[in-house]
Structure 1
């Protein structure tokens, strides 16, 4: 005697219907039935990403500039002129 199953029961069945197989062709067209993902990056995440792209801080240079400011030797007319030129170049393009 051979037993092939429990009276026609088909085993576990999915709760949700199956979607069509997901595939993307060379033109990046998503085929019907494929789920779409969407990602939103918060303003804080965008800011942190921007910070991570900044160059490293040169601590020795920062300390040297602080010392010059404290001694009153940092603010010279030449440095002020250079800073203004750079600022206007950025603003005016």
Structure 2
């Protein structure tokens, strides 16, 4: 049924088969003229994909820092001075 405005109503219409241009016309066509799917990723999407492959926790780094803390080697005067300088730079 087709409705065009308030006063124009047409009766039911016949249902026709869908037009299929793909199978009959492209059967003899060479492969190079057929459509090819393509996916282009932006550099940002590629970077995000690489980041997702990195483990959340670098266990080897965590273990080495824990060992340094346990040995008393982690908190050196140089590291504390650098942390204090960075903090003052952020504040000021």
Same fold (TM over 0.5): no
Query: Which one has more relative contact order, counting CA pairs under 8 Å at least 6 apart?
Result: 1
| TM-score, scaled to structure 1 | 0.37
Q: TM-score, normalised by structure 2?
A: 0.37
Larger proportion of strand: 2
Please identify which structure carries the higher helix content: 2
